[in-house]
Amino acid sequence: MVKGREVSEKERILCAIRDGILNLDSEGVRGSVNRALSCGVSPIEIMTEGAFKGLDLIGERFERREYFLAELMVSGEIVKEALQLLKPHIEKEKVTSTGIAVIGTVEGDVHDIGKNIVALFLESRGFEVVDLGVDVPPKEFVGAVKEHEPQILAMSALLTHSAPVMGVVISELEKVGLRGKIKVLVGGAPITPEFAERIGADYAAKDALDGVDKCLRWIKGGA
């Protein structure tokens, strides 16, 4: 009976974390995460069964157009706050990061909303994110790949005239022998699967969550 009550309490708290994220309740999520830790729930389980499943629910609402960019940003920030609470406990368990991703908006473009959402959600999923910002020249992308040795390079462009810079970056990576070591994700309004194939990218994200989902599949060894 005691064991049954413990399981029931754990599930109740994890459900509260998921619901708190879905309802954009930052204070409620913080309280539930702290309660889960005090009850001895593993920080990894809090992340996977609580926070990450909450983000999955957010994604479902986004796909149904019940939530929009503002809600994505808020939910991502809430999960980042939760992960900050969990970080000291995760470090004690010596858990490695999901992976490393370099991200930026290409040269000639200063739009950053989509990029910021991808970066935020990658961080909330355990990635170490190197955000180069906006108007990033090809040599800076290449330098960051050399320095940080990421598994993923994500590039964003909202303007049609800036999108070809993505192809320049990929060409430069090929010249220095780095292209085969990473997956290249591209996204933004003018980006299509056909364009991604033409410039040699691995995937054109339909939206921010689609891009993050693809990154997670890559890290897990999927296509």
pLDDT of residue 1: 37
Does the annotation count 161 as an active-site position?
no
> Which CATH superfamily, name and number, covers 99-219?
Cobalamin-binding domain (3.40.50.280)
* CA dist., res. 105 & res. 103, Å (int): 7
Parts of the chain with a pLDDT under 50:
1-4
Task: Please confirm, yes or no, whether 109 is among the known catalytic residues.
Answer: yes
At 57 the pLDDT is 92
Whether the Cβ atoms of residue 57 and residue 49 lie closer than 8 Å to each other: no
Residue with tokens 């490393």: 100
* Catalytic choice (25, 26, 42, 111): 111
Taking the model in full, what pTM does it have? 0.73
| Residue 162 annotated to the active site | yes
Q: Could you tell me which residues are beta bridge partners of residue 205? A: 187
The string of pLDDT tens digits covering residues 153-197 is 999 999 999 999 999 999 999 999 999 999 999 999 899 999 999
Which of 109, 124, 131, 156 is catalytic? The answer is: 109
Catalytic residue of the set 32, 75, 156, 162: 162
- Is the domain covering 2-92 a CATH 1.10.1240.10 domain? yes
Which tokens belong to 10? 């754990």
The residue ranges of every structural domain in the chain are 2-92, 99-219
